[in-house]
């Protein structure tokens, strides 16, 4: 009997290894690793995308920018290099959706306060009102962590171009060609400046999904 097992030991080991490989393959097929989509302008509601880029189907990234934060510091893409971040658009005197959105941003800040790989970025759509001083006042009221979350102001045209052509997160105002309607969208951006998700910034369920997707994206990056 011992001679029999000794004779076929090699084949038994090979069979065991093959079985493990086959089981592993079957498991990976039945339980695929979750990945997030990479959003292109052509995939997004046309109302949210500038007409000049609605045809774009690949290679879309967030454009470079230069804006001032609540401390008067110039913020550019360099401050978000190799970081995952969540972007949105708001204004400090908004009394409708903005307070809810800001509250949810603060919640994300709290839950990810020790994660240096994830940052937040909120752009005012009313820079003529939201000066650096006004943003600082608002930041103090809302508990903004300066190392985690930038509230930015600056050139109105640049901000609106970012909203429409980069983040795909705002509608044109049909009554004023130089204005737009900011939305409740939170936009998830990866370390390569690509858009990976849109979330209703007023919906607690959507915020939970956003946090889950950030965790997924960290595994990918």
Backbone angles phi, psi at 70, to 5 degrees: -65, -15
163 within 8 A of 195, measured Cβ to Cβ: no
Q: What's the alpha-carbon Rg for the chain, to the nearest Å? A: 23
| Residue 60 labelled as part of a binding site | no
Q: C-alpha 38: how far from its chain's center?
A: 11
Distance CA 29, CA 46 (A): 35
Three-state SS letters, the chain: CHHHHHHCHHHHHHHHHHHHHHHHHHHHHHCCCCCCCCCCHHHCCHHHCCCCCCCCCCCCCCCCCEEECCCCCEEEHHHHCCCEEEEEEECCCCCCCHHHHHHHHHHHHHHCCCCCCEEEEEEECCCCCCCHHHHHHHHHHHCCCCCCEEEEECCHHHHHHHHHHHCCCEEECCCCCCCEEECCEEEEECCCCCEEEEEECCCHHHHHHHHHHHHHHHHHC
Residue stretches of the annotated binding site for Cu cation: 94, 98, 182
Residue stretches of the annotated binding site: 94, 98, 182
């Amino acid at each position: 009997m011992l001679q029999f097992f000794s004779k076929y030991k090699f084949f038994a080991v090979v069979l065991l290894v093959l079985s493990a490989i086959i089981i592993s393959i079957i498991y990976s097929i039945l339980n695929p690793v979750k990945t997030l989509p990479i959003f292109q302008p052509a995939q997004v509601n046309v109302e949210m995308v500038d007409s000049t880029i609605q045809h774009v189907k690949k290679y879309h990234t967030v454009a470079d920018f230069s804006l001032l934060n609540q401390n008067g510091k110039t913020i550019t893409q360099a401050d978000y290099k190799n970081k995952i971040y969540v972007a949105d658009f708001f204004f400090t005197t908004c009394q409708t959706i903005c307070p809810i959105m800001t509250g949810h941003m603060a919640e994300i800040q709290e839950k990810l306060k020790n994660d240096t790989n994830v940052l937040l970025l909120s752009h005012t759509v009313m820079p003529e009102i939201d000066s650096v001083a006004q943003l600082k006042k608002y930041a103090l009221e809302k508990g903004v962590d300066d190392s985690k979350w930038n509230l930015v102001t600056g050139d109105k045209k640049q901000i609106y171009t970012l909203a429409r052509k980069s983040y795909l997160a705002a509608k044109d105002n049909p009554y004023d060609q130089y204005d737009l309607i900011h939305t409740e969208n939170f936009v998830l951006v990866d370390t390569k400046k690509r858009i990976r998700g849109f979330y209703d910034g007023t919906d607690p369920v959507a915020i939970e999904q956003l946090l889950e997707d950030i965790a997924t994206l960290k595994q990918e990056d």
